[in-house]
């Protein structure tokens, strides 16, 4: 969304030239951008196309650009493998992602609000401290987390992953939403104070609606992280609570790598989070506070 806006802004002054015609500079820029986009999207294309190919088309060389799509791979992935297929893992991923995203955004918004609106001794140090939880690579936490999860009997449960992902996402949420809260003119909340609302009511009725773009942004980022997280999920779950990445990771070993179904599972893993992001992005109303104060 943002990138779209900057590109139109940059092109705007070129209006002097006949509309629709491009200079050499523009052509070069578009060519480079297209190559880069193609480079990024090619693996996704391979996943999606392979998941729809028959065995013969998969191994055709050079790759078959046109082929007759089949749904067998999805059928295998969903219903055949392991007797249950991908479904339970998909469900686990949805549960863990939804719960940890909701918790991280909800808690994070409250923390950010408290830290921006109340004078707290050492508040700015607190912000730094919160961010510092992200300084170390996650792998450094795996062993201590493993011991904690085992001790508390949460091994192979949704709750273990939800708690860990929430704490991993929280710092990012706090940092991003803080910026949104700081952008709200304080008079808007003071007006609500005068109108007879308590601090908590102001938080829910005035502040939160005004940082909706921040909530959506952080929800997207948190969800993507939780959805794709592999390392901690493999360590903390075996199968009851295992998520899609864990299932995907175990694929090659147990099945002797069947590319078609493998890619079908990959597609199933990509699509929900992609749809989630696209849907939420539509609600990113920018400039919500524009014009509120003069």
* Residue 294 binding another protein, by CB under 8 A: yes
Residue 107: asked if its preceding bond is cis (omega within 30°), the reply is: no
Q: Using CB under 8 A, which of 185, 252, 274, 275 touches another protein?
A: 185
Cβ-based nearer residue to another protein, 121 or 294: 294
* Residue 284 binding another protein, by CB under 8 A: no
**With b meaning 16 or more CB within 10 Å and e meaning fewer, what string describes 86-117?**
beebbebbbebbebbbebbbebbbebbbbbbb
* Residue 291 binding another protein, by CB under 8 A: yes
* Residue 201 binding another protein, by CB under 8 A: yes
Q: Give the list of residues 6+ apart from residue 95 with CB closer than 8 angstroms, or none.
A: 158, 162
Q: How many CB atoms lie within 10 A of CB 271?
A: 11
Q: Which two tokens stand for residue 288?
A: 């919500």
Q: Which range touches another protein (CB under 8 A), out of 9-17, 96-104, 201-209, 222-230?
A: 201-209
Q: Which range touches another protein (CB under 8 A), out of 23-31, 80-88, 149-157, 198-206?
A: 198-206
Q: Using CB under 8 A, which of 35, 204, 209, 252 touches another protein?
A: 209
Measured between alpha carbons, how far is 5 from 28 in angstroms, rounded to an integer?
20
Residue 221 to residues 50, 226, 228, 255, Cα–Cα distance (Å):
28, 9, 11, 32
* Residue 117 binding another protein, by CB under 8 A: no
Minimum Å gap between C-beta 52 and another protein is 44
Three-state DSSP state, 293:
coil
Measured between alpha carbons, how far is 95 from 273 in angstroms, rounded to an integer?
13
Q: Which two tokens stand for residue 143?
A: 């062993």
Q: Using CB under 8 A, which of 194, 256, 279, 282 touches another protein?
A: 194
Q: Using CB under 8 A, which of 198, 238, 252, 281 touches another protein?
A: 198
The candidate with the shortest Cα–Cα distance to 216, out of 132, 127, 277, is 277
* Residue 283 binding another protein, by CB under 8 A: no
Q: Using CB under 8 A, which of 10, 22, 187, 255 touches another protein?
A: 187
* Residue 289 binding another protein, by CB under 8 A: yes
Minimum Å gap between C-beta 288 and another protein is 6
Contacts with another protein, residue ranges (CB under 8 A): 185, 187-188, 190-198, 201, 206, 209-210, 212, 287-294
């Amino acid at each position: 969304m943002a990138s779209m806006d900057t590109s139109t802004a940059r092109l705007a002054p070129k209006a002097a030239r006949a509309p629709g015609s491009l200079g050499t500079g523009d052509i070069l820029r578009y060519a480079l951008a297209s190559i880069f986009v193609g480079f990024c999207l090619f693996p996704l294309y391979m996943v999606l196309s392979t998941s729809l190919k028959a065995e013969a088309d998969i191994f055709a060389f050079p790759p078959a650009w046109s082929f007759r799509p089949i749904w067998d791979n999805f059928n295998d992935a969903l219903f055949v493998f392991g007797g249950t297929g991908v479904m339970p893992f998909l469900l686990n991923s949805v549960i863990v992602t939804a719960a940890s995203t909701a918790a991280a955004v909800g808690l994070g918004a409250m923390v950010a609000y408290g830290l921006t609106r109340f004078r707290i001794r050492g508040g700015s140090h607190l912000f730094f401290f919160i961010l510092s939880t992200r300084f170390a690579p996650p792998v450094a936490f795996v062993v201590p987390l493993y011991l904690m999860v085992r001790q508390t009997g949460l091994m192979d449960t949704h709750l273990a992953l939800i708690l860990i992902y929430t704490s991993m996402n929280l710092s990012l949420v706090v940092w991003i939403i803080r910026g949104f809260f700081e952008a709200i003119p304080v008079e808007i909340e003071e007006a609500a104070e005068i109108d007879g609302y308590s601090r908590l009511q102001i938080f829910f009725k005035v502040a939160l609606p005004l940082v909706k773009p921040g909530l959506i942004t952080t929800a997207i980022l948190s969800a993507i992280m939780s959805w794709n997280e592999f390392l901690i999920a493999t360590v903390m779950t075996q199968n009851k609570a295992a998520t899609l990445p864990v299932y995907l990771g175990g694929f090659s070993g147990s099945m002797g790598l069947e590319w078609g179904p493998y890619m079908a599972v990959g597609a199933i893993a990509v699509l929900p989070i992609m749809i989630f992001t696209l849907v939420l992005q539509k609600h990113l109303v920018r400039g919500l506070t524009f014009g509120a104060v003069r």
